[in-house]
Structure 1
Amino acid sequence: MKNNINRLFVYKSHTIRQVIQSIDLGAKGIALLVNQDGLLLGTITDGDIRRAILKGVPLDDSIENVVHYNPIIVKQNMTKEEIKDIFIKKAVRHIPIVDANNKVIDLISINDILLPEGKDNLVIIMAGGLGTRLKELTKEIPKPMLKIGKDPILHHIINNFKQYGYNKMVLSVNYKADIIENYFQDGYAYGVKIEYVREKKRLGTGGGIKLAKNYIEAPFFVTNGDIFTSLNVEDMMNFHIENKFDITVGVRRHSFQIPYGVISSEENNIRSVEEKPTIEYLINGGIYCINPEIIEYIPDDEYYEITDLINKCIKEGKNVGSYEIKDYWMDIGKIEDYYKVNEDMYELIACEKLGDEDDK
């Protein structure tokens, strides 16, 4: 959160309405009242706002009556165990971290303390698409929230990364973002740490990555929010690092049978006829490993697709590699894909159970 901590700052001159906007922007359920030097004066939570509204307090009123002027804090030099003890005793979700002068340094969540440390590689999930090709299915909910089995697609994506120790997530959201945010919140209930970046306009996959740049410190994953796969993501990241690629594109082998006899000819002379040949090629699997410095190639606040970024890197002489996805993979772009993956889901579960029985 450190690089975005000022998103949570509010000032005495602010109204309740402005605090609501800050809480919404920060997506932490809390705003920090500071002075012009960044010294902490108090905190305001979304619960404080709700209680004020229920009492009939106008949104354009001063924040004076909703501020906690003696907030719970932790000092910059405290140990993890000391901070954990405060969280347990005070039963709060977030606590500001301050230095010796009471200047706000960061905000820590109970998620940060109680969850396993996990790997440093961030997972950026592009979850802002409209899903127009799925027609009525996405009229009320965003495509990543469509259910496969009992859980949303997005839940399956998160679980697949989590099982390999990648538990730091950033979700890029746009269409019906509140549904996604209300469901997953900060990720604690799902064993991960989730931050959100919001596209105010359509930015494409590349533009969505640029919004998350302040969270990135190591090679990171990007995945579309409509990909259902059992890919071993750890193998893919290891492959990316070992081969010193700047971008690694997850690719899928795809074949297509031409439903006609194909003629090979020179001028008017036929040399051969091949009946209904099958053509095999690699397609983009919508999952990528990317090095942090590559983000600088993405323009600010512009629509920019991941394919633009890949082609730019090739042009600049960067190392762009491919990793073949041999595990189960399905891009849920059309209604028939959605129904097919739900059918496959039950077969996969049955196979897993059969495998477990064989291991006994």
Structure 2
Amino acid sequence: MVQSQTAQPPLALQDMEVMILAGGLGTRLREETDIRPKPMVEINGRPILWHIMKLYSRFGIKNFVVCLGYKGDVIRDYFLNYVHHQSDIAVDLGSHSVEVLARGNEENWRVVLADTGRDSNTGARLKIASKYLKNDVCMATYGDGVCDVDIAKLYDAHNDAGRDVTVTAVHPEARFGEIEIDGNAITEFVEKPQTGSGWINGGFLVFNKKVFAEMPDKPALSLEQEVLTGLASQGRLSAFQHNGFWQCVDTYREMLLLNEMCARGHIPWLGQYAPDA
């Protein structure tokens, strides 16, 4: 195992920066992404990007670097007008002035909106946006998935492992149900079970910043197929196994699923659990 050497004590969690990949085309959710980037698809009246940031902020994290690409201006406009989106306002069309009458809920977030190119791949986006990082370690995730992972435990696991990148490994729910058959009799019917074998990359990663400097300047650079694969072969990649809730939003059905959960008050990524869920 190749271990990274750190002379300084671990960065305090509240000083952590989070890079969020928010530039993909979202082709499998074309019903929504024809008009907005996938991270702006709404869950319970808020963009999924907001839900992801809120997840991290539960652990005291307030610094974000959003890697923009496809329809990035939609995300820019959202944050530039964030206060107005959350507040009661009066607009004077004659003087072009805007008065905030009653402020809504505001977040103590610092958000860097970094243009990483419309057609860049995931690895290239992280490398381009990494110039805005202030610390030697950061977190990163995708802009289309939520999870009830304990961010503090993830960070502790990264520091304990001593490797350069830690990936949150998850068991996704199976897309279809499973049946057990004996002869022509079904002995067990399970609707959409959680897969029991094989882990997948669930996002929610921790990076030692030096990894970005090692990445080649290549627009097509894939985080998954090139960067993480290479680190694994060098013994520099760790897994943080998460057996709790995880859900990405790749399809319209998955968007509806998360909205239905929120309607029941079951929002595990924000620490809300409905008793009947």
Same fold (TM over 0.5): yes
After superposition, the C-alpha distances for 1:139-172 in whole angstroms (9 at most, x for unaligned) are 1111111111121101111111112111110000
Structure 1 letter corresponding to 2:14? K
* Matching of residue 235 in structure 1 with residue 153 in structure 2: yes
**Number of aligned residues:** 227
Distance 1:204 1:191, change over 3 A: same
User: What secondary structure does 2:117 align onto?
Assistant: coil
Q: Tell me the amino acid that sits aligned with residue 177 of structure 1.
A: G
Q: How much does 1:131 deviate?
A: 1.2
Q: Which residue of 2 aligns with 1:340?
A: 257
Alpha-carbon distance between aligned partners in 1 of 2:209 and 2:125, rounded to the nearest angstrom: 14
Which digits, 9 at most, give the CA deviation of each residue in 1:9-43, with x for residues without a partner? xxxxxxxxxxxxxxxxxxxxxxxxxxxxxxxxxxx
Q: Which residue of 2 aligns with 1:182?
A: 77
How far does the alpha carbon of each residue in 1:39-85 deviate from its partner, in whole angstroms, 9 at most, with x for none?
xxxxxxxxxxxxxxxxxxxxxxxxxxxxxxxxxxxxxxxxxxxxxxx
1:247 aligned residue: 165
CA distance in 2, matches of 1:349, 1:250: 19
> Which of 7, 10, 21 is the aligned partner of 1:126?
21
Relative distance call for 1:230 and 1:353 in structure 2 (3 A) is: closer
Structure 1 or 2: larger helix share?
1
Q: Secondary structure at the match of 1:190?
A: coil
1:339 maps to amino acid = L
Asked if the contact 2:136/2:210 (under 8 Å) is kept, the reply is no
Identify which of 227, 238, 245 aligns with 1:309: 227
Q: What corresponds to 2:126 in structure 1?
A: 209
Q: Which has the higher contact order (CA 8 A, sep 6+)?
A: 2
Give the 5 Å matches for 1:245-284. 245-254=163-172, 280-284=197-201
State how far apart, in whole Å, the 2-side matches of 1:128 and 1:151 are. Answer: 18
Counterpart in the other structure of 1:98? none
Does 1:292 pair with 2:187?
no
Structure 2 match to 1:160: 55
Which residue is 1:223 aligned to? 141
| Contact 1:118/1:168 (8 A) holds in 2 | no
Could you say which structure has the larger radius of gyration?
1
1:255 CA drift (Å): 6.5
* 1:212 Cα deviation after fit: 1.8
The aligned amino acid for 2:48 is I
1:318-329 matches, cutoff 5 A = 318-329=235-246
Displacement of 1:234 in angstroms is 1.7
CA distance change for structure 1 residues 127 and 164 in 2, over 3 Å: closer, same or farther? same
Q: 1:200 to 1:327 in 2, by over 3 A?
A: same
Q: TM-score, normalised by structure 1?
A: 0.57
Residue identity opposite 1:211 in structure 2: I
Q: Which residue of 1 aligns with 2:38?
A: 143
Distance in 2 between residues matched to 1:289 and 1:240, nearest whole Å: 7
Structure 2 letter corresponding to 1:302: P
> Which whole-Å CA distance do the structure 1 matches of 2:152 and 2:22 have between them?
22
The secondary structure found in structure 2 opposite 1:281 is: coil
Shift of 1:230: 2.5
CA-to-partner distance for each residue in 1:227-246, whole Å, 9 max, x for gaps?
12232212111111122121
Q: Where in structure 2 are the equivalents of 1:184-203 lying within 5 Å?
A: 184-185=79-80, 189-203=106-120
Percent identity for Structure 1 against Structure 2: 25
TM-score (norm 2): 0.73
Runs of 4+ in 1 over 6 A off after TM superposition: 274-278
Letter in structure 2 aligned against 1:323: F
Instruction: Measure how far apart 1:253 and its partner are.
Output: 1.8
Gaps of 5+ in 1: 1-116, 263-273, 356-360
Distance 1:148 1:313, change over 3 A: same
